[in-house]
């Protein structure tokens, strides 16, 4: 998350986790949304770097973080089905 700072990263992480929660029809708490959003930001940033997608600022960071959070929740649901 380039150009947003630590406080901005926390807010974006919360928003990304909440959006991903709603899109995946899940029900989590605030702390879980924050963790999902921040881990999703790392995952989304990694995928964006692999694809050569450069981003900076609030909105692109939110989009990438939300994509990563949705991907994280989807991967976790795949793991739960196998177990």
pLDDT-based confidence at residue 3 (cuts at 50, 70, 90): confident
Phi-psi region of 23 (alpha: psi -120 to 50; beta: other; left: phi over 0): alpha
41-79 tens-digit pLDDT:
999 999 999 999 988 889 999 999 999 999 999 999 999
- Opening angle at CA 54, ends 63 and 78, nearest 5: 50
19-47 tens-digit pLDDT:
999 999 888 888 888 899 999 999 999 99
Is the pLDDT at 2 greater than 80, yes or no? no
């Amino acid at each position: 998350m380039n150009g947003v700072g630590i406080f901005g990263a926390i807010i974006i992480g919360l928003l990304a986790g909440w959006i991903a929660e709603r899109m995946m029809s899940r029900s989590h708490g605030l702390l879980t949304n924050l963790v999902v959003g921040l881990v999703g930001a790392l995952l989304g940033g990694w995928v964006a770097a692999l694809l050569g997608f450069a981003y900076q600022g609030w909105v692109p960071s939110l989009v990438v973080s939300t994509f990563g959070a949705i991907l994280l929740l989807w991967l976790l649901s795949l793991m739960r089905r196998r177990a």
